[in-house]
Structure 1
């Protein structure tokens, strides 16, 4: 069941991040790293545990981001450290940062610079596709099936070697 309150909090967190980067953009607007065809947008922010997760698109980067959904901050960790978050697609490394007004914000770069995007619609489509892939429910089933599949090599074969035909699985 969808928790409307948590959904709204995640959406607000994404909007606050986008507003933060709009203010940053005022000082960067004319730098060559900025793609003038792109806008700043929070895409697909959703509840993730007690936090908010989504993509921020700016004229200079596209990042998957995790931040506090409301007043509760993420667990303490030093800026610059790596935080590994478990997503449906697998474990993903994020760089820990701190933003004024947010506290800890973890980011995982998807694209930077953004020169290859002709327009904002293309950047938005890529952000949506990335989120769809990262949270594809079919990946849970695929990982579970892979975990049930017997290994082709056991520890003894790996250490001492096995003849090629000994590791083949019959069809």
Structure 2
């Protein structure tokens, strides 16, 4: 088992326990989603990826080595990525240790199933780490602009263009990605508030 797989398993096990023990009956849960860690990989001394739960989708950073820094939970820090600096908040869970998280979506009612949530997480990681260069990845630019593969407003109505692109994506065997995704809104968790 690789280190990334072991970290993925630990992260998922920890938040499945949080879900089972602390989140029962909480109204912000999206029952269509489970706990899944996506794209966990080494980055600048951390394990980095996206954590999906029924109540949030967050970027997550876990130290690769024992973290000796005395930092209280709730403290904030900027981390610089190719797409720009992003603010993370410190957390801690028994069995997992200290970590940093940055909200993408909270709550996560936009997502009708795990496949779409995972596709969105993958798109977020790609844009964050690649800096979303227009010349290098035209499809990623379209995702950030809300054009690929499905344009859906948050009230659940599909645009004609979105329906055509969603059909093309399904025909190609690709998972649909939640729409109205601009890079800034997605990576700062502002999508729900600014689009209403």
Provide TM-score, normalisation by structure 2.
0.62
CA contact (8 A) 2:14 2:96 kept: no
- Work out the CA distance in 2 between the residues paired with 1:125 and 1:21: 20
- Work out the CA distance in 2 between the residues paired with 1:131 and 1:98: 23
SS of residue in 1 equivalent to 2:41 = strand
2:12 is equivalent to residue 18 of structure 1: yes
Count of paired positions: 134
Q: 1:101, CA displacement in angstroms?
A: 2.2
CA contact (8 A) 1:61 1:111 kept: yes
Within 5 Å, which residues of 2 pair with 1:58-77? 58-69=53-64, 71-73=65-67, 75-77=69-71
Query: Paired residue for 2:43, among 40, 44, 48?
Result: 48
Q: 1:51, CA displacement in angstroms?
A: 1.4
How big is each residue's C-alpha offset from its partner over 1:49-99, in whole Å with a ceiling of 9 and x where there is no partner? 221010000000000000123x52274322211111111211111001122
2:111 is equivalent to residue 117 of structure 1: yes
CA contact (8 A) 2:38 2:51 kept: yes
Provide TM-score, normalisation by structure 1.
0.70
> 1:82 aligns to what?
76
- Work out the CA distance in 1 between the residues paired with 2:99 and 2:68: 8
Larger radius of gyration between Structure 1 and Structure 2: 1
Within 5 Å, which residues of 2 pair with 1:1-171? 8-27=2-21, 28-69=23-64, 71-73=65-67, 75-136=69-130, 139=133
- Work out the CA distance in 2 between the residues paired with 1:48 and 1:67: 10
CA contact (8 A) 1:45 1:52 kept: yes
CA contact (8 A) 2:84 2:131 kept: no
Q: Could you list the runs of 5+ residues in structure 1 that have no partner in the other structure?
A: 143-171
- Work out the CA distance in 2 between the residues paired with 1:114 and 1:12: 26
Q: Could you list the runs of 5+ residues in structure 2 that have no partner in the other structure?
A: 137-196
Query: How well do the aligned residues superpose, as a CA RMSD in angstroms?
Result: 2.2
Detail structure 1 runs of 4+ shifted over 6 Å in the superposition: none
- Work out the CA distance in 1 between the residues paired with 2:81 and 2:116: 24
